[in-house]
Amino acid sequence: MIDKHNREINYLRISITDRCNLRCVYCMPKEGMSFIGHQDILRYEEMLRIVTVAVKTGITKVRVTGGEPLVRRGAIDFLSSLKKVEGLRDISLTTNGVLLEDCAEAIFDAGIRRINISLDSLVPERYGDITRGGDLGSVIGGIRKAYSTGFSPIKINVVAIQGFNDDEILDFARLTIDRPYQVRFIEFMPIGEAALDNDLGYLSNDEVMRRISGFAPMEPVVQTRRDRMDGPARLYTLEGAQGKIGFISAMSHGFCSSCNRLRLTADGHLRACLLADEPTVDLKAPLRDGCTDSELEALIRDLIGRKPDSYKTDCHQGHRRKCATNMSSIGG
Ligand code: SAM
Ligand code: SF4
């Protein structure tokens, strides 16, 4: 469906759980998180029904995320059932990679080829600090396994934070030289409680680019229609590199004008915007009250109709606006 700002809304991100086996400093508070209760979390069959109806509104692409999607029992079977939804052309997964080494083959066998893995440091101790306890070795093992299993593309998401991991920018860029990884720098977004943490220093992607260019020239990649469908990353390569470097600059170069996304949270709310808690619509209550597919479709279409044209974020200018929901509950 085309929204009133002339954007084709064709992409749904589904957070299948708000739980996680890590506690990344920019995403979740150290403690005191309250999680969605068993009764309130959408069941897989409810998510599938929403997807099947959303396809009628023009959704062709789904990304499964979390929290950490691989901690929810049945996640791989869910991926497999998504593959059977007629009209879906593209299904992908975002994971922190901790459990990936053991289940990469099963995910591949479920038909998934596109995978994003989050990794913010290549130094074991620091990785442990950023994630509050994560084991870098397991994620590296997961990335290697994803590569040997045949996933493509493999995208490595890095949130660059001033004073935290910004001295590793070149090390991340170098990962693209020998392997066809797409390393993507994501600007820190002041969402949920992370927005209140003044220790998290914003770093613009212009600065990240400047630092990489000081190491070696980067050539812009001529983006295919598929690349553009893939999302808002601006892509570059280092000379002779197999992989690509991407920049996702939600804060400094907002991409609202081309936003094609809806987000389904694990408690059944459909969000129109990552950075704004409104508008949303609760789909779980009508689903459980026995609504028809047409009624569900009307709710989705109505939300698309209310999708805002843009959301002003200016945290980098010192005015930290935020949405109150933690990123782990929205799914990124
Ligand atoms: N647990 C999975 C993972 O870490 O990949 C999936 C969910 S996580 C919320 C999805 C993405 O959101 C990750 O790449 C993470 O780095 C990113 N993210 C979380 N909080 C963020 C923030 N405040 N600003 C920018 N990106 C953030
Ligand atoms: Fe968990 Fe992903 Fe959030 Fe880290 S970014 S706490 S891995 S949901």
- Contact (CB, 8 A) for 182 and 244: yes
Query: Ligand 1: which residue has its CA nearest to atom 2?
Result: 95
What is the pLDDT at residue 227? 64
Which residues sit opposite 220 in a β-bridge? 236
What is the pLDDT at residue 228? 66
Q: 11-330 adopts what CATH topology?
A: TIM Barrel (3.20.20)
DSSP string for residues in 177-229 = HHS--EEEEEE----GGGGG-TTSB---HHHHHHHHHHHS-EEEP---HHHHH
DSSP state, 270? E
DSSP state, 181? -
d(CA 71, CA 18): 10
Lookup result for tokens 């200018």 = 317
Q: Residues 249-301: pLDDT tens digits?
A: 988 888 888 899 999 999 999 999 988 888 999 999 999 999 999 999 999 99
Contact residues of ligand 1, CB 6 A cut-off: 20, 26-27, 65-66, 68, 94-96, 118, 157, 159, 186, 188-189, 191, 194, 327-328, 331-332
Lookup result for tokens 């692409």 = 61
DSSP state, 62? E
Cβ atoms within 10 Å of 225's Cβ, excluding its own: 7
> Which of 75-84, 189-198, 243-252 is modeled with the greatest confidence?
75-84
Lookup result for tokens 């897989």 = 44
Is the Cβ atom of 66 under 6 angstroms away from ligand 2? yes
What is the pLDDT at residue 320? 46
Q: Report the separation in Å between the CA atom of 331 and the middle of ligand 1, taken as the mean of its atom positions.
A: 7
In the predicted model, is pLDDT for residue 175 greater than 50?
Answer: yes
Q: Residues 97-149: pLDDT tens digits?
A: 999 999 999 999 999 999 999 999 999 999 999 999 999 999 999 999 999 99
Query: Ligand 1: which residue has its CA nearest to atom 19?
Result: 27
Which residues sit opposite 94 in a β-bridge? 116
User: Pocket of ligand 2, candidates 24, 189, 274: which has the most ligand atoms within 8 Å of its Cβ, to mutate?
Assistant: 24
Query: Ligand 2: which residue has its CA nearest to atom 4?
Result: 24
Which strand (E) or helix (H) includes residue 106?
helix 100-109
Rounded mean pLDDT of the chain? 92
Is the Cβ atom of 118 under 6 angstroms away from ligand 2? yes
What is the pLDDT at residue 245? 98
Residues in the chain: 332
The pTM (predicted TM-score) of the whole model is 0.94
Q: Report the separation in Å between the CA atom of 276 and the middle of ligand 2, taken as the mean of its atom positions.
A: 19
d(CA 200, CA 25): 8
Q: Residues 198-250: pLDDT tens digits?
A: 678 899 999 999 999 998 999 999 877 666 666 789 999 999 999 999 999 98
Task: Tell me the two tokens of residue 261.
Answer: 């996304």
Q: How far apart are the first and last CA of the chain?
A: 22
In the predicted model, is pLDDT for residue 49 greater than 90?
Answer: yes
Which ligand sits nearest to residue 19's alpha carbon? 2
- What Rg, from alpha-carbon coordinates, does the chain have? 19
Task: Tell me the two tokens of residue 170.
Answer: 């070149």
